[in-house]
Amino acid sequence: MIKIKDIMIKDVIYYETEIEDNLKTFCKKEKITYLPSLDLKKVYFLHHEELKNKEIEGNLIISPDLNVFNESLLKLFQEGEHILFIFDQNLIVGIIHISDYNRVEVYTYLYELIANLERDLRKLLDLSNLNNDDMLEFFKKHTDNKHYKEKCSVFEDYGNKFNEVGPFEFFDLSDLVALCNYEKIVKIDQRVIELRRKVMHSRSGIKNKDYEQNYPIYDFTSFETFFNDVIILQVELKRIHNRVKIHKYIARMEENKTRHGRLIKNKM
């Protein structure tokens, strides 16, 4: 699990009236919008070349140990105009903005989740008595689709190469999801595939509204979509892992039942 303290801005700069001009320069150059007051009662923000202020409300204060993708955060970020304040025992320890979700730590976490999902889908297909030939057969039945036609031409001559790795290791997430759906094993939300593309190609989940502006203005809608897609990914991973565990449990039960039946037969 990734926590707020893993991606928050820890080196906080505070607002002081005596150095306001220098702070304006700092905010513009470093593309920082918010500065808390020294007494932690207000936050100053750059607006049309001026530093204005508002109170730091209690609902904008969160714990450093909170899960980065805790569902309550979506509403809090919206209420806080895309920024939240991290306090630990009444002391501010950091600030977090929606753009911090573009950090490499977030993408490392998502890469691990996706890798685990792919691993469990391969296990689930294997436990469902399917193999690489079933995937090839699926491609062949869908050669009217350009994507599957290309896949078919790539893999149909692999032969013994398939035996060099584990079941379904040559196929990516979209193929695994498609076969699971086709065989009616489990239906996976397609949004996890698009999220995988973003993660693997290091595409920013939170977009800038206008990249030509001097100050980045991040699009909350893109953050909301990205956030919800990760929630879906986490749920799907739990669901598939659960299916794998149940499959293994049922298989053990059947094996024990068969073994018990053989023992009775031998005694007779």
CA–CA distance from 120 to each of 34, 117, 171, 241 (Å)? Answer: 43, 5, 13, 6
Query: Angle at the Cα of 15 (from 9 to 19), degrees rounded to 5?
Result: 125
Question: pLDDT tens digit string along 65-106?
Answer: 999 999 999 999 998 888 899 999 888 999 999 999 999 999
Residue 238, C-beta contacts closer than 8 angstroms, at least 6 positions apart: none
Whole-number percent of the chain with pLDDT over 70: 93
CB 196 within 8 A of CB 173: yes
Q: What is the DSSP letter of 73?
A: H
Highest mean pLDDT among 179-183, 247-251, 255-259 belongs to: 179-183
Q: Does position 202 have pLDDT exceeding 70, yes or no?
A: yes
Q: Measured between alpha carbons, how far is 214 from 49 in angstroms, rounded to an integer?
A: 12
Domains plus CATH for the chain? 4-101 (3.10.580.10), 104-260 (no CATH)
Sign of CA dihedral 57, 59, 63, 65: negative
